Amino acid sequence: MENVCYKSVMIKAIFLDMDDTLIVNQVLFENATFLLCGYLRHFGVLQAEAEEVFSRIDKENFKTHGYSRTRLPSSFEQTLRHFVPNADEEMVSIARGFAEDVFTANAPLKPGVDEAVKILSQRYRLYIVTAGDESVQSHRYANNIPFQDKIGKVFIVPKKDKCVYETVLAELGLKPDEAVMIGDSLKSDVIPATEAGMQAVWVEAHNSQHESAAGFPPSRAYKASSLFEAAERLVRRGTPAPRIGRAFPKPRRTR
């Protein structure tokens, strides 16, 4: 195999996703769904059947509401009414309450995150780029992120796509190859960031059903088992993946 060397790139900033990258989030949704299924058992509904109906309803609602705070309570209510068409106000309130608790519950840091942020902040500027309901994400940041002094700015957007990353880069005065996006979602974190010319690190977390259609991009991305692993690799090597830039073959020696 021919050896190649790469044009060097200076990374200046790290963009961090929040939900399920910095804090535990998916478990809150899973617990809420478990409670809804448990409640429906009182009406003779099997858990597998309840999960199937909820999954179908929530996928449809996601197309319209995305990560809006209104989506999950609505999906819970619709699931209840599917099995209990004559559900009264108290029943609806209970079902929707399971969903509402997701947005107010404490979301603990994922293991190793505090240490990873400490490592990264010693060398890079740190920013959070997170998608979701602005009131929910602001609440989570204010109440669940203990290292706010190390975060330069928080960008809360309805949806993360190529345009969002380009806008954030422009606001911060950064070139695409000067920033790395780290997150748990291929669809929201890795693919659009690489489309914007950034490098990206996928911290695989086996999360939402809404991410299953996304594929791992062929370049500018690499996978880590945790944020801590990604941080150590960045600091040690200065880049999480093959360096961006044109590859130049090393000159052959002539006799």
- Give the CA distances from residue 45 to residues 49, 89, 93, 116, in Å, rounded to whole numbers and listed in that order: 7, 20, 19, 44
HSE, CB side, 13 Å, CA atoms: give it for residue 220.
24
Predicted confidence pLDDT, tens digits, the chain (255 residues)? 223 233 446 899 999 999 999 999 889 999 999 999 999 999 999 999 999 999 999 999 988 888 888 999 999 999 999 999 999 999 999 999 999 999 988 899 999 999 999 999 999 999 999 999 999 999 999 999 999 999 999 999 999 999 999 999 999 999 999 999 999 999 899 999 999 999 999 997 765 544 544 566 767 888 898 999 999 988 887 666 544 333 333 444 444
Q: Beta strands 247-249 and 4-6: pairing type?
A: antiparallel
In 107-203, DSSP assigns E strands to 125-131, 151-157, 179-183, 199-203
Question: Residue 57 and residue 139: Cα distance in Å, rounded?
Answer: 27
Q: What is the DSSP string of 87-124?
A: --HHHHHHHHHHHHHHHHS--PBPTTHHHHHHHHHTTS
CATH number of 4-24+108-247: 3.40.50.1000
- pTM recorded for the entire structure: 0.81
The domain locations on the chain are: 4-24+108-247, 26-104
Side chain identity at 195, as an amino acid letter?
E
